[in-house]
Chains A and B, each alone.
Chain A
């Protein structure tokens, strides 16, 4: 039977199931297959903080959304076109996000009275399919006994029924792989490697995966499969990468490109722990990882290592930054290089550990006692975490300062195709250690002064122990200019406070001009963003342009100091919109610094901003600025950049 193949330019698929159903793995494999196939894509894993929330309940639902396309896409998509629901709770929890006409593939096996009741269903919604009162009437529903067929497909391996049923996620992956013409070899190879030590589990997963594919190929339930052609991309070798992995690689690269051993002091915390896990694998690069007794010890050890001449790094999330604040101040005062990674999550307090937010900007900026300026760098996409980590290390080493690297939960776990850079193209970081002083003519060695400064960067000498003649003492007490001795002198404190600020301000001299994306040159509204909102802002901006309106976009990698041209750029536009996943933190900073009437677009839902809603907000501002009616209905999907250029 030859089936119809339909061409699609893009699709958004969400895999949803119980926390133990392996949905993250399923989504990740589907993503890897799509990446290897050459689609552009963006992913959004979404899972509860509980490792195993009560089975079958709404709080236990874990999902993975992937947006794949034959053109470049910027977001994981606002609403899924396809939902794979492994149980009633997964169906119920995700139904509200589906647009009319969406496809639902549902595992009927778990629609038992008990599971329906746990999910809060009075009646089985699948019983009424096609009836006049069908609660799922708006959708194209495919009820399939995924579990039953999986158990049947793997029975030759003699697994317990429970173990056999656990392969159902691979059956679902096989079915979806067939539906979207995904290459299967990478997943077979992956399963063979992952379960290499347990032959029957390995064979069962491979068999379930293939059975899922074959089911799609033969069943009459699915009449159509789809093709999404590879997206045009710049030449190069690509891989799919998550933000946490890219960030860890960036830190390894910073070690290689600076010649410094990387020393990570860290305490496990969601969603930053994967950076600790990853770096602990790379001892061959001279990377040392210390799992400290607490957040403070993590940064303390990193500062100690920096004093010793290593590239000190500490990784955490917002609550950890709060605990590290005093030690960050010590690094400010002692002027030692340090990279402080904050993978932001929903706050305050414990907040939403597994959900994303951008509400630590002001904590990064001001969350210390005294005048304690800290440079801030933020990546804009998962792959960009690599470059941002290198940039943070460059600033830290060059300017002898702690640097805050603000990632977030969405970047950390989300993924995208990443063009693998050439190592030789990466920035070289020069530690420029202080040299042992040469003896004067009379044979005396001049006293080393640890608080002299490089005239260009205002950086002080970095003089790790072990060099005769450079013995010195540093600490948290105010330092006298030049000598570094303890000083309570009023004028000195005023001078040193201003000097530390001036040093951080000097970093702006090393930054390239901002890229202003204003293709028509006629925009009167500029959208200013930072961090992971880059994708949704870009997608929203495209929608507005596709509908025929003008809007400019500027995205900040450096939040402190701001690039020197930011003020001028903002002043060229009538309206400045600042979308953020907080209540207006960047808005506050640019309003204060540039006296611009920045308008916030703010959500703290624990999820990335939605492009369609953001486009509406941009449209409203364009309407105000230009005195026109703005109607975006012409642009209902996320268009590619090609279409608007």
Chain B
């Protein structure tokens, strides 16, 4: 008996939008149409409000039928999100939203599926589901609200908290090394990986648009301030005095430069990564024309990963923001449905006839 493994060529459904199979509407929509009757119960000043407003404001732009949009969340402050949107929604259990969304998106091609999760939900208890959703490239958009702290359980360190962080569960400082969510998503074969900020509605909305349009799993890390347990965690990238030096903006096709043009990125031939240089014509400075041009569509994620490493793992004084990677790869749910469709097309007769043939197959005998 041959035990050689075999494989088959899978059909590539071709390039199409993440919402291509979702029914659209000509009815004008506003943010209000997406606002549920539930009272929003986040703390005053929570960054989640800004994201909710941005999402409610952005959803009408998609022009999709409201009843074909589903938000699925896990557990945590951000996971209350679905209650506040007048779409279909499920507030599930801790860490499992990507798995639930995978089943939903695979069984229903006509839905726009969104996952709302946090740094604890997605990266700690649900880490396994996150990486496998990214690997499979299920057609959904994952919004990871990263506040670098546990909010709903009242202030323990999270998998993105900086080492040394003093919290209720780490009175002498956390000795855990944190995850960089973008690096993780890139390593997990993510086909769309982006980072944005709760308070920058314009940037947030542009990233959400691109994420929704992407077919496959879109991963969006949203820096989000927790005013109660980790206030000020993102001040350096939000403060008008410091943000020009703290944010490294990534725009596809543009040279990567920041600090009001004074700094930029080049390849680091010594490490194989990228490094920050002074931009200019002076001694030790790099000519603007020599800066690294951001290529989000590069099939090789190496450079995107290298750029992601410029994120501070301690207090956030520096972070690249934007779409790190956006490449086409067949989506799991498209392929899974294509196999079912192919099998159904090849089958003759109705289901009842074929069921009779199935259960009546094999070696049979008849007793009269």
The answer to whether B38 touches A485 (Cβ under 8 A) is yes
Size category, A interface: 35 or more
The answer to whether B364 touches A285 (Cβ under 8 A) is no
The answer to whether B367 touches A423 (Cβ under 8 A) is no
Q: Which of B68-117 contact A (CB under 8 A)?
A: 68-70, 72, 75, 82-83, 86-94, 96, 99-108, 110-111
Q: Looking at the complex, which one of B83, B354, B360 makes contact with A285 (CB distance below 8 Å)?
A: B354
User: Nearest-CB distance from A72 to chain B (Å)?
Assistant: 12
Contact A236/B2 with A290-B103, A301-B102, A304-B107 known, Cβ cut-off 8 Å:
no
The answer to whether A305 touches B107 (Cβ under 8 A) is yes
Cβ of A287 under 8 Å from chain B: yes
Rounded to whole angstroms, the CA-CA distance of A255 and B336 in the bound complex is 18
Cβ of A256 under 8 Å from chain B: yes
The answer to whether B346 touches A477 (Cβ under 8 A) is no
The answer to whether B365 touches A38 (Cβ under 8 A) is yes
The answer to whether A249 touches B340 (Cβ under 8 A) is no
Contact A283/B90 with A38-B365, A300-B129 known, Cβ cut-off 8 Å:
no
The answer to whether A302 touches B103 (Cβ under 8 A) is yes
Residues of A within 8 A of B105 (CB): 304
Contact A237/B365 with A286-B340, A465-B88, A466-B68 known, Cβ cut-off 8 Å:
yes
The answer to whether B339 touches A285 (Cβ under 8 A) is no
The answer to whether A288 touches B363 (Cβ under 8 A) is no
Residues of B within 8 A of A285 (CB): 344, 351, 354-355
Residues of A within 8 A of B302 (CB): none
Rounded to whole angstroms, the CA-CA distance of A385 and B336 in the bound complex is 28
User: Nearest-CB distance from A437 to chain B (Å)?
Assistant: 12
Cβ of A169 under 8 Å from chain B: no
Which of A54-62, A147-155, A194-202, A625-633 binds B? A194-202
Rounded to whole angstroms, the CA-CA distance of A504 and B2 in the bound complex is 50
Rounded to whole angstroms, the CA-CA distance of A468 and B27 in the bound complex is 13
The answer to whether B93 touches A327 (Cβ under 8 A) is yes
Residue of B nearest to A330 (CB): B93
Cβ of A32 under 8 Å from chain B: yes
The answer to whether B102 touches A290 (Cβ under 8 A) is yes
The answer to whether B67 touches A470 (Cβ under 8 A) is yes
Cβ of A35 under 8 Å from chain B: yes
Cβ of A174 under 8 Å from chain B: no
Number of interface residues of B (CB under 8 A): 64
Q: Looking at the complex, which one of B38, B72, B359, B368 makes contact with A249 (CB distance below 8 Å)?
A: B359
The answer to whether B344 touches A466 (Cβ under 8 A) is no
Residues of A within 8 A of B66 (CB): 468, 471
User: Nearest-CB distance from A302 to chain B (Å)?
Assistant: 6
Cβ of A239 under 8 Å from chain B: yes
Rounded to whole angstroms, the CA-CA distance of A186 and B364 in the bound complex is 10
User: Nearest-CB distance from B126 to chain A (Å)?
Assistant: 9
Q: Which of A453-480 contact B (CB under 8 A)?
A: 464-477
Which of A2-10, A306-314, A339-347 binds B? A306-314
Q: Looking at the complex, which one of B86, B363, B364 makes contact with A471 (CB distance below 8 Å)?
A: B86
Cβ of B366 under 8 Å from chain A: yes
Q: Looking at the complex, which one of A238, A283, A288, A304 makes contact with B100 (CB distance below 8 Å)?
A: A304
The answer to whether A284 touches B82 (Cβ under 8 A) is no
Among A195, A263, A285, A465, the one with the most B-chain Cβ atoms within 10 Å of its Cβ is: A465
Q: Looking at the complex, which one of B69, B100, B110 makes contact with A303 (CB distance below 8 Å)?
A: B100
Residues of A within 8 A of B364 (CB): 36, 237-239, 420
User: Nearest-CB distance from A253 to chain B (Å)?
Assistant: 6
Residues of A within 8 A of B103 (CB): 263, 265, 290, 300-308, 310, 312
Which of A63-71, A291-299, A528-536 binds B? A291-299
The answer to whether A283 touches B340 (Cβ under 8 A) is yes
Among B72, B132, B359, the one with the most A-chain Cβ atoms within 10 Å of its Cβ is: B359
The answer to whether B106 touches A233 (Cβ under 8 A) is no
The answer to whether A283 touches B344 (Cβ under 8 A) is yes
One digit per residue, 1 when the CB lies within 8 angstroms of any chain B CB and 0 when it does not, for chain A 421-465 equals 111100000000000000000000000000000000000000011
Q: Which of A247-266 contact B (CB under 8 A)?
A: 249, 252-253, 255-256, 261, 263, 265
The answer to whether A468 touches B67 (Cβ under 8 A) is yes
Rounded to whole angstroms, the CA-CA distance of A38 and B364 in the bound complex is 10
The answer to whether B352 touches A472 (Cβ under 8 A) is no
The answer to whether A292 touches B91 (Cβ under 8 A) is no
User: Nearest-CB distance from B73 to chain A (Å)?
Assistant: 8
The answer to whether B91 touches A473 (Cβ under 8 A) is yes
One digit per residue, 1 when the CB lies within 8 angstroms of any chain B CB and 0 when it does not, for chain A 594-627 equals 0000000000000000000000000000000000
The answer to whether A465 touches B67 (Cβ under 8 A) is yes
Rounded to whole angstroms, the CA-CA distance of A467 and B88 in the bound complex is 10
Among B337, B362, B365, the one with the most A-chain Cβ atoms within 10 Å of its Cβ is: B365
Residues of A within 8 A of B82 (CB): 473, 475
Cβ of A240 under 8 Å from chain B: yes
User: Nearest-CB distance from B72 to chain A (Å)?
Assistant: 7
Residues of B within 8 A of A471 (CB): 66-67, 86-88
Rounded to whole angstroms, the CA-CA distance of A113 and B82 in the bound complex is 71
Q: Which of B37-79 contact A (CB under 8 A)?
A: 38, 65-70, 72, 75
Residues of B within 8 A of A288 (CB): 106-107, 336-337, 340
Contact A234/B111 with A283-B339, A286-B344, A471-B87 known, Cβ cut-off 8 Å:
no
User: Nearest-CB distance from B346 to chain A (Å)?
Assistant: 7
The answer to whether A253 touches B359 (Cβ under 8 A) is yes
The answer to whether B355 touches A300 (Cβ under 8 A) is no
The answer to whether B363 touches A35 (Cβ under 8 A) is yes
Cβ of B358 under 8 Å from chain A: yes
Residues of A within 8 A of B68 (CB): 465-466
Could you list 25 A-B pairs, sorted by A, with CB under 8 Å? A186-B363, A234-B367, A235-B368, A236-B366, A238-B365, A252-B355, A284-B344, A284-B347, A284-B354, A286-B351, A287-B340, A290-B106, A293-B128, A296-B96, A305-B107, A308-B103, A386-B359, A421-B359, A465-B70, A466-B110, A469-B67, A471-B66, A474-B90, A474-B91, A476-B75
B residues contacting A by CB (< 8 A) are 1-2, 36, 38, 65-70, 72, 75, 82-83, 86-94, 96, 99-108, 110-111, 128-129, 132, 336-337, 339-340, 342-344, 346-347, 351-352, 354-356, 358-368
Q: Top 8 A-B pairs ranked by shortest CB distance?
A: A475-B91, A300-B99, A304-B103, A301-B103, A283-B343, A304-B104, A284-B347, A304-B100
Extra contacts, 8 of them, besides A253-B355, A423-B356, A464-B108 (Cβ < 8 A), are A256-B355, A304-B72, A305-B107, A308-B107, A309-B108, A465-B111, A466-B67, A472-B89
